Amino acid sequence: MKLSQLKIGAIGIIKEFTDLEMSVKLMEMGCLPGETIKVERVAPFGDPIAISVSGYQLSLRKLEASTIELI
């Protein structure tokens, strides 16, 4: 399952990334394999989304979220 498919309030654990370029940026921002993610909310027009990860909030577009595979 991809992060972009996770519902608001749902929790997932990062398994791997499907895009190398994106994975470097995401890891620098604390999105690492094994890390727990919670979808906090979705922007008014349905995109981007806000997630909780390693103790803070991060916003990213659904397209970017779709490169994160969850366990």
Partner 1 sequence: MKDRLRIALVGNPNTGKSTIFNALTGLNQKVGNFPGVTVDKKIGFSKLANNTTLEVVDLPGTYSLYPKSVDETIVFEVLSDKNNPSHPDLVLIVADATNLKRNLLLYTQIADLGLPIIIALNMMDLAAKSNMDIDVDGLAKRLNVPVVPIAARKTQGIEELKKAIQYHSNQPFQTPTIDIEIIAPDLIKSISEELNIDNPYVALQIAHQYQNLRYLTKAQISQIETFEKQYDFHSQKSQAAETIARYNFINDVLLDTVKYNSVALEENISNKIDHYLTHKIWGFVIFIAILFAIFQSIFAWSEYPMFLIENVFVWLAEVGHRYLPEGVLTNLLIDGVLAGLSGVMVFIPQIALLFAFISILEDTGYMSRVTFMMDRLMRKVGLNGKSVVPMIGGLACAVPSIMSTRTIENWKERIITIMVTPLVSCSARLPIYTLLISLVVPKIYVLGFINLQGLALMSLYVMSIIAAILVAWVMKGIIKSKAKGYFIMELPVYRMPRWNNVGITMFESVRTFVTQAGKVIIAVSIVLWVLASYGPSNRFEKIDEKYNSPSLLKKYSSVEIVRLKASEKLENSYAGVLGKSIEPSIKPLGFDWKIGIALITSFAAREVFVGTMATLYSVDGDATKMESVREKMAGAKNTQTGLPVFTVASAFSLMMFYAFAMQCMSTMAVVYRETKNIKWPLIQFAYMLVLAYVASFIVYQLLK
Footprint on this chain of partner 1 (rule: CB under 8 A): 20-21, 23-30, 32, 40-41, 43-48, 50, 52, 54-61, 64
- CB count, 10 Å around CB of 27? 14
| Least distance to partner 1, CB of residue 5, Å | 18
Output 26 or 70, the one with its CB closest to partner 1: 26
Residue 70 pairs in a beta bridge with 14
| CA-CA-CA-CA torsion sign (51, 57, 61, 66) | negative
Residue 20 beta carbon to partner 1: minimum distance, rounded to whole angstroms: 5
